[in-house]
Structure 1
Amino acid sequence: MYLPQNKDGCLSDMTDEELWLAVQQTDCRASFAQLFYRYWKTMFTTMISYTSDKEKCEEIIHDIFISVWQNRKKAQIRHFQHYVKAATRYQVVEFLKSKKRSKLIYSADWELHGHRSEYNEGESKVDLEDIKTYINRLIQDLPLRCQEIFILSRIDNLSNSEIAEKLDISKRTVENQITVALRHLRNGLGPLISSILLIIIFS
C-alpha cells in the first residue's frame, strides 16, 4: 500500500483533539484526512439545505479544509467540530448575502453534546480505508513509467529535476507524466474528494 498509514491503525478511535494535535505537531496527513472524513458529509448536508448548489458546497468545504491545512501551525483550534461548524455557517451566510438572500443558519445536525464529536466511527473507518485502497488501485492502473514517476514525486517527495536525473529523462517528461497521473486520479475520485486528498496526502 502506497499511502502513509497510522502505526497502530486506530485513527478512527482517536478524538478530534488527538488528531488535531498530530496534525499540528507532526504534519500528519492521515490524521487530517480522518478529520476531513469525519465532518465533510455533515457539512455538505447542512450547506446543501440552504444553498441548493452542489458545486458551491463542494467549493466551500474544499476552501475550509485547505485553509486549515495551510495554517495548521498557527491555527488556534481548541475544538475541531466547533471550528468547522462556525466556518461553514460563516461561508454559507456570505454566500446567501452574495445572492441577496439573508437567512439565519440553524441546524439540529450541528448541535453539540460535549466535546467528543458525534459521528459513525465504523463508517468513517471504512470510508477512509476504502478510499486508500481505491487510490492505490488507481495508481496501479497507470502505465508503469507514469506510476513510477508519480510515486517518486508524491510518495518519495523528489523534485521534478531529481526524478528526471534519476530516470535519465527530461524534466518536461516528468511534468507531463505527473499531470497525466493527477488527471487520472481526479477522474477516478471525483472533484471534492480528490482535491482534498491529493493536496493533503500527496502534498
Structure 2
Amino acid sequence: MKPMLFACCAALLSACAAPSFVGDAAPITITTETPEHFDLPARFAVARVVYGSTHAAGAEETSLWTDLADRATEIGSFTPLVIGESNRRHWSKPNLVLVENARAQRYDYLIKVQMYPSEGSAEVTLFHTGSAGVMATVQVASPGRGQRGFWGGRIKNPARLDRATLKIAKSTIPKVEDMLNGALLRQR
C-alpha cells in the first residue's frame, strides 16, 4: 500500500509542474493583512484533504489536475503540497499547518481542496501564505449522492475512495478554474 501511495505522490509531483527548487523562489514575507490583488504569475501549492488529512490523488484524478495546471500556465505553477509525518500530528489548526508548510516551501498561495466523500462535495479555499488570509472560497457538490463505507462510515478501500474523490474532482476542477480565472481578471 505504501509503495503505491508513494508512486501516486511521485506521479502527481512530477506531472503538475516543471521542476523548481525551493531555493530558487524568493522568501515569503509575513504580513498582517491579506492583499486584495494577486501577484501573478505565482507559485500555487495544492493541498487535497480527505477525512482530515492530506491524500495523494489517484491516477485519473491526477491527470485532471495536470490538465488544469496546463491550462493555467499564465497564472503560475501548481504543485502538490508536501506534508511531513511530524506535521500531521499537530492538526488542531489544520489550515494554519497547511499555510505554514506552504510558506516554508516558498509558495505564494495555497489552494486547499477539502473533499467530503460521504456527501459528494468539496470546499475549495484559496489562502495567501504570507498572511494566512482567505482570498477566495468555492463550494461544490457533485451530481448524485455521496458514498460511504461498509458500515456507513469512512471509505477504507483505496480504490473505492479514489472513485468517490474522482467524481468530486470532476465537479470541482471547473470551479477551481473559474476561481483562478476570476483572480486573473481581478489582477488586470
TMscore range, shorter length? under 0.3
Q: Which has the larger radius of gyration?
A: 1
Greater fraction helix: 1
Greater fraction strand: 2
